[in-house]
Amino acid sequence: MMSEKPPLPADGQRDEAEPGLGLEQEVTMETARDGWDSKVEYFLAQVGFSVGLGNVWRFPYLCHQNGGGAFILLYVLLMVLVGVPLFFLELAAGQSIRQGSIGVWRHISPKLVGIGYSSCVVCFFVALYYNVIIGWSIFYLGSSFKYRLPWETCPTEGNGTVKECAASSPTEYFWYRKALDITDSIDETGEFNPIITGCLLAAWVIVCLAMYKGIKSTGKVMYFSSVFPYVVLLCFLIRGVTLDGASEGIKFMFYPRLEIWADVQVWRQAATQVFFALGLGFGSVIAYSSYNPRNNNCHRDAFTVSGVNLMTSVLATLVVFAVLGFRAKTIATECVKRNMKAAFEALSSTPFPDLLINASDVENMTLNEYEHWYRTRGQQLNISGYNITACSLEEELKQGVEGTGLAFIAFTEAMTLFPGSPFWSALFFLMLLNLGLSTMFGTMAGILTPLTDTFKTLRNHKFLFTACSCAVGFLIGLMFTQRCGNYFVAMFDDYSATLPLIIVVIFQTFSVAWVYGADRFLEDLKLMLDRPVPVVYKYMWKYVCPVAMLGLLGASLLKMILERPTYIAWNREKASKEDLPYPGWALAVLSMLIVVAFLPVPIGFIHSLLLERLGQSPADAEAGYMPCATTDTDQTPLDTLPPSAGDPSSFSPLLEENQDTHLQNGHIEHFQSSAV
């Protein structure tokens, strides 16, 4: 079956031999491009990449801080208007052009090749610190196999407990002092943490082993790493809703506060979460979809993966706040007992006015009764030697919810209150490990696939390239295993990806909608999918998405300009967290991260212009660059071809028409060859 001719690049240029020049057509038999063994593997890989650690700790935190149910409604709105169209764009581009991010944007226009390289740089930055978080999960997983969890009680020092632990909590002390052994600020580097360094090495070894055969090995790992977290989340949900205080936590979580919609920063946070939840701009979505058969329904995949991502975020939020509700009620109840005991002792030892509450019946006292008493009577008491405090369930729910504090402090503390806490702790951190790895595999695919597609040398030594990439990632990642390494993780997380990725996605959308042409792209998709694509995407890609992304970029830049960047540090003397401004050198580093990630875009543009002036095409300038296979595959299975199909000479009719022949996913793939 003859295939359609591939669409021309956006600038209308084509490498063709002019008649009369005496050039011969050369056809090269290339190695078949890898493909997914099944649709299930592909789907699990896309879901595994998009569903990551952010669904478990960032989304619940944002939902809690920004209006509960109102934030979820805003998130769904932005997911539909911006997230799904952009996700579909990346899926369709990768599947249509069958290349990584570098090849996709080079195919649309050689001047845009820098977009693909920027995606690779950002993926590399993210991989550096993301694997450190996986290393932390490995450390906590190993520490969970003890009868009494090591963060359950404070260690002793002399005749009492360690002062720093007593002033904070056992979980905070274990996290900051035992796991990280953190310094007081980013200026204090300190020596390497040997245990975390070993865990980081283990994380990189796991990633290397899972990636060494490309998607052939990654797809098999996904059966466990993508499915297991859902099993754990369901176990925690069933256990969590049976706990005392779970209903209060869930009710507090989802109570809608629609007034937050008037806050521009809430819109910025919701858009950023949509942006990162789907993995837009990393190139990983493009890389995974490029291994699909040409007739795969990527439009349906866009809705399915986005829907699974949303439902996972909501499920994780239910689990988190059911458990945190239990934790908060337990702590608040203990607070009530402690205060009532102090008040009862004071009343029995010295003459004191009536407390207006039965302090001896603490077991039957509700938190609402205590809060009402404290507001009307308790806070007015001045008892020498006793400190009567407020015991607020809401305040306890707010503690330790942001970022890593949710997983390694608040949630960890809650699990110490579970019967059989080591089992639940091991289950939780095994879930975090799998969530992190599935996302890490996609991030590495965003680096390896575009580069191996572009450079023939790397393609011929894929295992060596994968191993070297992981080794370099580990060596640079040692920066994060210093005692101040957690502060660098926060810096990379906040600044190395956000702005560069937003800029990359803006360029991606502009390239497809305006440079290549939205109408033209929709027509290509119609031929590829054998069905029309709703025309509404044309207006989404041309107007709605660019305006939304430019607004997000402006809001992010404005926030950086108006507010000096800060980080959360642990003060050893005060045994508490504090916000510190980044020093001047750190601001220079984070600025450099943003510039380095974005720099390939203008460099690629200038490089293409210079090559045009010199009379060269960018494809000629890149040694080993393989032209994109952008045409439909022949749907004739290999087993129906005549026996001579294995002989290259049997393809002589195709060769006469100057076409290359490729084996792809058990089918013959043809595409136009370049004139040499």
pLDDT digits over 314-353, tens only? Answer: 898 888 888 888 888 888 888 888 777 777 676 666 555 5
Q: What is the 3-state secondary structure (H, E, C) of 286-338?
A: HHHHCCCCCCCCHHHHHHHHHHHHHHHHHHHHHHHHHHHHHHHHHHHHHHHHH
Which sign does the torsion angle of CA 620, 622, 624, 628 carry? negative
Q: Is the pLDDT score of 122 beyond 80? A: yes
Rounded CA separation 302/259 (Å): 31
Task: Map residue 625 onto helix, strand or coil.
Answer: coil
Rounded CA separation 450/446 (Å): 7
- In this predicted structure, what is the pLDDT of residue 498? 79
Q: Which parts are annotated binding residues for Na(+)?
A: 48, 51, 55, 309, 435
Rounded CA separation 268/549 (Å): 10
Q: What is the 3-state secondary structure (H, E, C) of 145-176?
A: CCCCCCCCCCCEECCEECHHHHHCCHHHHHHH
Q: Is the pLDDT score of 17 beyond 70? A: no
Q: Is the pLDDT score of 518 beyond 70? A: yes
What would the CATH number be for the domain defined by 39-333+398-559+597-619? 1.20.1740
Rounded CA separation 39/42 (Å): 5
- In this predicted structure, what is the pLDDT of residue 252? 75
Once rounded to an integer, what is the mean pLDDT over residues 257-274?
82
Q: Is the pLDDT score of 602 beyond 50? A: yes
180-184, 299-303, 381-385: range with lowest mean pLDDT: 381-385
Rounded CA separation 186/212 (Å): 36
pLDDT tens digits for range 609-618: 898 888 766 5
Domain boundaries, the chain: 39-333+398-559+597-619
- In this predicted structure, what is the pLDDT of residue 645? 39
pLDDT tens digits for range 619-669: 544 433 343 344 434 333 333 333 433 343 333 333 333 334 333 333 333
- In this predicted structure, what is the pLDDT of residue 22? 39
- In this predicted structure, what is the pLDDT of residue 3? 39
Q: Which parts are annotated binding residues?
A: 48, 51, 55, 309, 435
Tell me what percent of the residues of the chain surpass a pLDDT of 90: 28
451-455, 494-498, 549-553: range with lowest mean pLDDT: 494-498
- Strands laid side by side in the 659-664 sheet: 633-637, 667-672, 659-664
Other Cβ atoms within 10 Å of 410 Cβ, number: 25
